[in-house]
Structure 1
Amino acid sequence: MEYHSNTDNLDEEGYTRLDFHSRGISQKPIISEKGVTSSSCPPRWILYEKSCYLFRLSLDSWDMSKEKCSLEHSSLLKIDDLRELDFITSQTSLQPYHSFWIGLSRPQAERGWLWEDGSAFSNVFQVPNTVTNKNVFPICAWVHQALIYDQLCNVSSYSICEKELEN
């Protein structure tokens, strides 16, 4: 319905005409409190570019989070570029008191960081070394607000699952 305050909206008798035609409305995703959801993603998942993201708000270890993502036919988040990192940090900043596991871990001291799929970490961001006991492995990564930190993998935290859109 469209209303114009000028005389273009008046009929011959001076009554206001209502226009019930939709203009410029397309099939757009619904915006939720946590971001953009779409029929392309399952319920509660957020669409960003070519992936769907689930911000799980149950506390689990890194391994259990990985397993729960797998049950959702997804994996823990793999951050591929700075745009995706910006999206993730904008979402996690909505939960400023919580940290979220991502799919990055360091299984042994002599090995570097690896993504859950086995690929090497490409240094899109830095992971500060904050775990005080340098002899404890594996170490996992989580995002808290706008930063990624290392953490003991058995600590309970929220997590982020990711799956690519199906074509």
Structure 2
Amino acid sequence: DFMIIPIFIIFDETLSYRFNMSSGCPHGWSYFNHRCFVYVPRSMSWGQAERNCKSMGGHLASVHSNNEYRHIQKLTSDHDYIETWIGGTYEFEEKVWLWSDGSSFHYTHWCPGEPSGGNQNCLQINYTPSKCWDDLWCDLRRPSVCAKKKSTLLG
């Protein structure tokens, strides 16, 4: 029993270093509505950005409300609201927009006249001064926002 206490203390310090204990988000990620978000400044294609998010345990961010969109935009505000990838992608065969995390695509914030199609199958935010959504060619390079479920102490 005596040896358990020091091990527990080391374990506890490791967790508090790696996670914001109140939110369950890793260091550097922000908590909002049961999810953790992070801005990735490195410019990548949409596919590279999604793979990068998956390597961190998440996906490119999906958006389900105006409040969530405002939170995601806030993450880009230190970078002059640059055009940024999130997880929307157009599925040709079903002719629908989908989120890369599999969640339902019901909230939208498209710019007027968007999505415009023409093989522009990936979703960028902060387009035009109105900071709305635009469909874009997936191989263009943009920074991105990743999202994942908040962590619990056990995983």
Under a length normalisation based on structure 1, what TM-score does the superposition of the two structures give?
0.66
More helix by share: 2
For residues 63 and 46 of structure 1, the distance between their equivalents in structure 2, rounded to whole angstroms, comes to 23
Within-5 A mapping of 1:60-99? 60-96=44-80, 98-99=82-83
For residues 44 and 125 of structure 1, the distance between their equivalents in structure 2, rounded to whole angstroms, comes to 27
Number of equivalences: 128
Q: Any unmatched runs of 5+ in structure 1?
A: 1-36
- Structure number, greater radius of gyration: 1
Q: Any unmatched runs of 5+ in structure 2?
A: 1-18
Q: 1:163 to 1:118 in 2, by over 3 A?
A: closer
Matched, 1:159 2:144: yes
For residues 40 and 64 of structure 2, the distance between their equivalents in structure 1, rounded to whole angstroms, comes to 20
Matched, 1:141 2:123: yes
- One-letter code of the match for 1:140? C
Does the CA-based 8 Å contact 1:130-1:149 persist in structure 2?
Answer: yes
By relative contact order (CA 8 Å, sep 6+), the higher-ranking structure is 2
For residues 26 and 101 of structure 2, the distance between their equivalents in structure 1, rounded to whole angstroms, comes to 22
Does the CA-based 8 Å contact 1:96-1:144 persist in structure 2?
Answer: no
Does the CA-based 8 Å contact 1:89-1:147 persist in structure 2?
Answer: no
Question: What is the alpha-carbon root mean square deviation over aligned residues?
Answer: 2.4
Q: 1:110 to 1:57 in 2, by over 3 A?
A: same
Q: 1:47 to 1:119 in 2, by over 3 A?
A: closer
Q: Deviations over 1:64-120 (max 9, x none)?
A: 000000000111101011110121123323322622110101132760211113444
Q: Percent identity?
A: 23
Under a length normalisation based on structure 2, what TM-score does the superposition of the two structures give?
0.71
Equivalent residue number for residue 38 of structure 1: 20
